[in-house]
Amino acid sequence: MSINGHSNADLYGECGGATGGDETTPLLTNGSAQTRTKGASFASSVFNLMNAIMGSGILGLAYAMANTGIIGFCILLVAVSSLAAYSIHLLLKLCDKTGLNAYEDLGGRAFQKPGKVIVGISIVIQNIGGMSSYLFILKSELPAAIATFLSPEVTGDAWYEDGRVLLVLATLCIVLPLSMSPKIGFLSYTSSIAFFFMLYFTVVVVVKKWSIPCPLPHNVTLLDSALQISNSSLPDCSAKLFVITSKSAYAIPTMAFSFLCHTAILPIYCELDRPTKARMQNVANVSIGLSFLLYLISALFGYLTFYSHVYSELLLGYEVVMAHDIMVITVRLAILLAVLLTVPIILFPARKAVMVLLFGGQPFSWLGHIISTIILLGMVLLLAIFVPDISNVFGVVGSTTSSCLLFVYPGLFYLKISSESFRSFDSIGAVILVVFGIIMGITSFSVIVISWVQSS
């Protein structure tokens, strides 16, 4: 079933070209320039990519700073963000060299059909896990956020106090309609809203640094002691430059996952107006740079507010100290809405992976598009509603698929497809990516296993 003869390439975007990696050569299709309508603007592409980068991970970076120290955190954040940008550079270079427009097809070019299938499955699993975790957060937090606007006397079993009902309504009314567009550029409007929500969160974190006393109120420190989240060896109001503890191992995986946007890179590249590798690399650099700034500022001021008592989810600390503060209440809703608006961006590459694996280069079909969207969203919704704790399952899967998609696959594909010498700069960089990705995957998996042992 096709639309006026349009193929998948027309509606999902086509990128790549046998240009030898020319950074100023427009994207080509089958060796010839493609006639196409005006694509997404530079700004809208930046918003979409930032929305793919930023999610609930921003809430955990202050905790990562508390366990690595300010300078230690900055060094790690610079290293991880730089490696993420470099792995995007390799993906875009391969896209121009091969003329392929999908991450899965790059896997197929490098390692034949097994490579294509493995990459496609990795994308689907990773993105289903990400969407499920976001919807799980909504199910848990949205009723409590709504309750803050109600008077204490209002209690009972109202429908708006049931997280499952709210989750279904939000999915049907917001996520599903946004997810139906076959063009990822359409989501730039909601992505810009999500970005300003994240910006508002960062501003609130900075402002509240001057509103919360140090030492913290006695009820907070008592609660921290009960939850065993405070490091008693650190003075309450003393910032540390370097910290090495058993919890420091959580920092690198948290940062790496906070820059994972690689499954959305090629779809955004394909729809970019005047698409060249240099232009898309600039989109990636601006997106990662702005995300880096928001991450660093929110982590720094969040840490300097709570010091050793910072929570693994930063908002929890504000809710304990000033639960009824209007800025805290609004920023809580803003983060939940930003997370909700991130789901369609994450769904897009998962659906494209399914379409590539099942239908290959067949003409675009609205029937297949709609069915795959509904099935993927249905799976995510069922997981978020009925699985009591999905963090362990997707923690294991995410620790492997995330490190592969972020570092290992781009490096391996470049070494396999590129004809450059192994002594070239990019080949050496690809080796570094693969080694770093393997180390990060092993570290992430080990951290999860250790947390299981400690909790049991």
Token digits of residue 433 = 């990516």
How far the first Cα of the chain sits from its last, in Å, is 53
Phi–psi pair at 234, nearest 5 degrees: -100, 135
**At 395, which CATH number?**
1.20.1740.10
pTM, two decimals, is: 0.84
171 DSSP assignment:
I
Closest residue by Cα to residue 294 from 136, 94, 70, 59? 59
pLDDT of residue 320: 81
Length of the chain: 456
Higher-pLDDT residue of 22, 134: 134
pLDDT tens-digit profile of 298-316?
999 999 988 888 888 888 8
Structural domain containing residue 207: 9-455
Residue 160 vs residue 347, higher pLDDT: 347
- Evaluated on CA atoms 221, 223, 225, 231, the torsion sign reads negative
Indicate the pLDDT class of residue 8, thresholds 50, 70 and 90: very low
Please determine, for residue 325, whether its predicted confidence score (pLDDT) is greater than 60: yes
Asked if residue 343 is part of any domain, the answer here is: yes
So what's the pLDDT on residue 448? 74
Distance of CA 379 to the CA centre of its chain: 19
Q: How confident is the model at residue 323 (pLDDT cuts 50, 70, 90)?
A: confident
Average pLDDT for 106-134:
90
Indicate the range of 122-131, 282-291, 352-361, 371-380 predicted with least confidence.
Answer: 352-361
Whole-number Cα distances in Å, 419 to 90, 135, 415, 416, 426: 13, 43, 8, 8, 11
SS (H, E, C) 221-284: HHHHHHHCCCCCCCCCCCCCCCCCCHHHHHHHHHHHHHCCCHHHHHHHHHHECCCCHHHHHHHH
Q: How many domains does the chain have?
A: 1
Quote the pLDDT of residue 19: 41
Per the model's pLDDT, the better-predicted residue between 64 and 454 turns out to be: 64
- Separation of alpha carbons 129 and 182, rounded Å: 22
Quote the pLDDT of residue 37.
Answer: 54
Rank 4-8, 93-97, 292-296 by mean pLDDT and report only the highest: 292-296
In a domain, 442, yes or no: yes
pLDDT(22) > 70 = no
Yes or no: say if 99 and 28 are a contact pair by the CB < 8 Å rule: yes
pLDDT surpasses 80 at 292: yes
DSSP 405: I
Stretch 75-87: mean pLDDT: 92
Q: Is residue 299 part of a domain?
A: yes
Highest-confidence segment of 20-29, 59-68, 208-217, 231-240: 59-68
pLDDT of residue 434: 94
Mean pLDDT across the stretch 2-13? 43
Residues 6 or more apart whose Cβ sits within 8 Å of residue 163: 138, 139, 140, 142, 143
How far apart, in Å, are the Cα atoms of 130 and each of 137, 158, 178, 306?
Answer: 11, 29, 17, 28
Q: Which residue has the higher pLDDT, 452 or 321?
A: 321
Position with higher pLDDT, 346 vs 239: 346
Residue 4 lies in a domain: no
Q: What percent of the chain has pLDDT over 70?
A: 82
pLDDT for 21 beyond 80:
no
What's the rounded Cα separation, in Å, for the pair 357 and 40?
26
Per-residue pLDDT band at 453 (split at 50, 70, 90): confident
* 214-218 mean pLDDT: 66
* 1: in domain: no
Name the one residue in this structure whose structure tokens are 């020319």.
22
Amino acid at 278: A
Region label for 387, one of left (φ > 0), alpha (ψ between -120 and 50) or beta (otherwise): beta
CB 148 within 8 A of CB 315: no
Half-sphere exposure of 47 (CA within 13 A, CB side): 22
- Judge whether residue 240 has pLDDT over 80: yes
Q: Is 431 exposed, middle or buried (0-12, 13-18, 19+ CB in 10 A)?
A: middle
Q: Which tokens go with 387?
A: 């699985």
CA distance 88 to 92: 6
Would you state the structure tokens that stand for residue 402, as one six-digit string?
């995330």
Backbone angles phi, psi at 33, to 5 degrees: -65, 140
The CA distance from 239 to 148, in Å, is 32
Buried residues in 159-194 as b, exposed as e (16+ CB within 10 A) = eebebeebbbebbeebbbebbeebbbbbbbebbbeb
Is there a contact between 54 and 294 (Cβ–Cβ < 8 Å)?
yes
Residue 3 lies in a domain: no
Q: Highest mean pLDDT: which of 139-148, 156-165, 307-316, 326-335?
A: 326-335
Answer whether residue 214 is part of any domain. yes
Q: Report the 3 state secondary structure along 321-381.
A: HCCCCHHHHHHHHHHHHHHHHHHHHHHHHHHHHHHHHHHCCCECCHHHHHHHHHHHHHHHH
Whether 299 and 65 have beta carbons less than 8 Å apart is answered as: yes
What confidence category does residue 118 fall into, taking pLDDT thresholds of 50, 70 and 90? very high
Q: How many CB atoms lie within 10 A of CB 31?
A: 9
Distance separating alpha carbons of residues 216 and 234, to the nearest angstrom: 14
Give the pLDDT band (50/70/90) at residue 193: very high
d(CA 337, CA 392): 24
> Residue 84: what residue type?
A
